[in-house]
Amino acid sequence: MSSCCPPKEDTAQQATRESVQEYYGKILSKSDDLKTNACTTDSGLPPQVKAIFPLLSDEVITRYYGCGIVIPELLEDCSVLDLGCGAGRDCYIISKLVGEKGRVVGVDMTDEQLEVANRNIDHHTRSFGFSRANVEFKKGYIERLNELNLADNSFDVIVSNCVINLSPDKDAVLREAFRVLKPGGELYFSDVYSDRRIPQDLVDDPVLFGECLSGALYWNDFLTLARQHGFADPRLVSDSRITIENEAIEKKVGHIKFFSATYRLFKHADLESDCEDYGEAVVYKGTVPTSPQAFTLDAHHIIQAGRVFPVCRNTLRMLTGTRFAPHFDVVGGGKQHYGLFEGCGKAIPFASASDSAAAAGGGSGGGCC
């Protein structure tokens, strides 16, 4: 093959990126220009985030195209990477939360978005009362963080708001995110998901794609992909249904349902594929400043302060093998295994497993024929 031509796959991916660049660089100039509500879902901001809004420049607020909240707790002094930072709204919120000793890097491929982000650095450095900027923006592709000299194991947290759906190579995005995260770090991100795989003719529609709809991952494919890249136990933090609110586009997408969802994916070498029960529990000390009453790990783990809270081994690792460790005490020896942790979605497959089935002579598994 001649060395002058990129492989076919790369050409198709490049065409997708150029179409997205055109959409976010030339066609849209503010959130109101979007044709659907897929990229502007932003309800329920936590108070510590709301309090930062008056310090933000109007320009970065009006160029926000995110679909959820990507601000986990305990960011002070952290190094944070924002994949597809756009005009930088989330980077600036996080810049305030990590403080002067922290570091924020935003990556985006679209010049027009980066211009807005860059020209607002001084405004925010002054507005936050910092002696020097703790944010920088880099132009590049989120699939190729290696080209931006972002080292292995270098970020505590990666965030991303409504971007991965726009990537033509989601596999590479997750692989690179896993590479640059420190062990114990997390990818905490909001994106658009569908309830089924999306037909190619819709994927090829530039408006549907640019509006963050037809590039959405079917939720179950996303979970498989995340696990393949080492994020063994993806945790759903929140979700909401996207209503679209554009008749022509609703007609095109037909019965496909879309959701905006925030997931957190921890990079921890000892996470297992399933939730195993070692008879362990945690007690939350109530010491995370923004959550004195209860700590929310995910939609299924809202842990009240001072109360013994039984956890599976994976949850224990997410709480005690990460930056959250100082805020939890562990109860229980953890030496003995008691099977799958009840209520985690899976159960023992043997029909004869229940005591009543055993008393009746076993289930269908008894005997070989």
Ligand X SMILES: C[S@@+](CC[C@H](N)C(=O)[O-])C[C@H]1O[C@@H](n2cnc3c(N)ncnc32)[C@H](O)[C@@H]1O
- Chain contacts with ligand X (rule: CB under 6 A): 17, 20-21, 24, 39, 64-66, 84-86, 89-90, 108-110, 113, 141-143, 161-163, 166-167, 212
Return the sign of the alpha-carbon dihedral for residues 245, 247, 250, 255: positive
Residue number with CB closer to ligand X (82 or 280): 82
User: Across the strands, what pairs with 284?
Assistant: 305, 328
Does residue 94 contact residue 158 with C-beta atoms inside 8 Å? no
* Shortest Å distance, C-beta 285 to ligand X: 33
> Which is closer to ligand X, CB of 180 or CB of 297?
180
* Rounded CA separation 235/232 (Å): 10
DSSP strand E in 242-320: where? 258-266, 280-284, 294-298, 301-304, 308-311
Q: Which one, 111 or 329, has the nearer CB to ligand X? A: 111
Phi, psi of 169 (to 5 degrees): -140, 75
- Which one, 13 or 320, has the nearer CB to ligand X? 13
CB 203 within 8 A of CB 214: yes
Question: What are the two backbone dihedrals, phi and then psi, of residue 322, each rounded to the nearest 5 degrees?
Answer: -140, -170
Q: How far is the CB of 215 from ligand X (least distance, A)?
A: 9
- Closest CB 281 distance from ligand X, rounded Å: 37
CB of 310 to ligand X, least distance (A): 37
The β-bridge relationship of strands 301-304 and 258-266 is: unpaired
Handedness of CA 328, 331, 332, 333 (dihedral sign): positive
**Tokens encoding 85:** 């930072």
* Structural contact between residues 218 and 196, judged by C-beta atoms closer than 8 angstroms: yes
Considering the complex, state which of residue 45 and residue 357 has its C-beta at the smaller distance from ligand X. Answer: 45
Which run of H or E residues covers position 138? strand 135-139
For the CB of residue 339, give the shortest distance to ligand X in the complex, in Å: 42
CB of 337 to ligand X, least distance (A): 42
Please identify, using beta-carbon distances, which residue of 55 and 305 lies nearer to ligand X: 55
Closer to ligand X by Cβ: residue 49 or 302: 49
176 or 280: whose CB is closer to ligand X? Answer: 176
For residue 168, the one-letter residue type is P
The token pair at 1 is: 């093959």
Least Å distance, CB 302 to ligand X, is: 26
How would you list the strands of the sheet with 328-331, edge to edge? Answer: 308-311, 280-284, 328-331
Please, which residue, 162 or 217, has the CB nearer to ligand X?
162
**Residue 356, Cα to own-chain centre: how many angstroms?**
43
Distance of alpha carbon 91 from alpha carbon 281, whole angstroms = 35
